[in-house]
Amino acid sequence: MAKKIGVILSGCGVYDGSEIHETVITLLAIDRAGAEAVCMAPNIEQMHVINHLSGEPAAGETRYVLVESARIVRGNIEDTATVTADDFDALILPGGFGAAKNLCDFAVNGPDCNVNPDVARLVKETVAAKKPLAAICIAPALLAKVLGPINSPALTIGTDEGTAGALNKMGARHVDCPVKEAVVDKENKIVSSPAYMLAGSISEAAAGIEKTVQELLNMVE
């Protein structure tokens, strides 16, 4: 039976949702490995909507994380409220500002951020079930907030000192990492990679993400 990998999305578009390249590369790596992606997102309003041409907020627009995430995965997606760790063998969070604006509010409140309750629940359930986790780009900040006080995971967002310091403040242990590599915390079964926190091209992002997915799958029992 194919391994099932939960994928938590945060919208559609780098500035206010899931980073599309990172998400598609993640899904492709999962599929190429013979595993099955189980995609999900919270059914909540986005923090805001960004015009991706101008980079400016779109005044008066309202969008919803689950509906926007469905664009990337051709509608094959579940509400996080209806999913438990029993539904997958491992869990991965692609990046994009949505991970730090919609799944949590790290982009606004830094180490004092709050995490969406269902997303936090799924992360904790995954750890409790001794199933592996992975996070890409800025998404390790969310894992740091949820798991830092519990098991001080080793995580990376690349090399940015300010963001790394915030992860450490939340209880994680930040490890600098080049874009094409991944940090593997074997004790806690957590993998992370910088992707577009450092990537200058889609191929650079892909190298680290593909390695992350492979390391994640290697830890599935």
DSSP conformation letters of the chain? ---EEEEE---SSTTTS--HHHHHHHHHHHHHTT-EEEEEE--SB-S--B-TTT-SB-TT---BHHHHHHHHTTT--EEGGG--GGG-SEEEE--SHHHHHTSB-HHHHGGG--B-HHHHHHHHHHHHTT--EEEETTTHHHHHHHHHHHH--EE---S-HHHHHHHHHTT-EE----TT--EEETTTTEEEE-GGGT-SSHHHHHHHHHHHHHHHHHT--
Domain positions in the chain are 4-218
pLDDT digits (tens, 9 = 90+) for 140-176: 999 999 999 999 999 999 999 999 999 999 999 999 9
Q: Which of these is catalytic: 12, 39, 113, 137?
A: 137
Query: What is the reported pTM?
Result: 0.98
pLDDT digits (tens, 9 = 90+) for 115-129: 999 999 999 999 999
Predicted pLDDT at 1: 87
137 is catalytic: yes
The second-level CATH assignment, the architecture, of 4-218 is 3-Layer(aba) Sandwich (3.40)
Predicted pLDDT at 78: 98
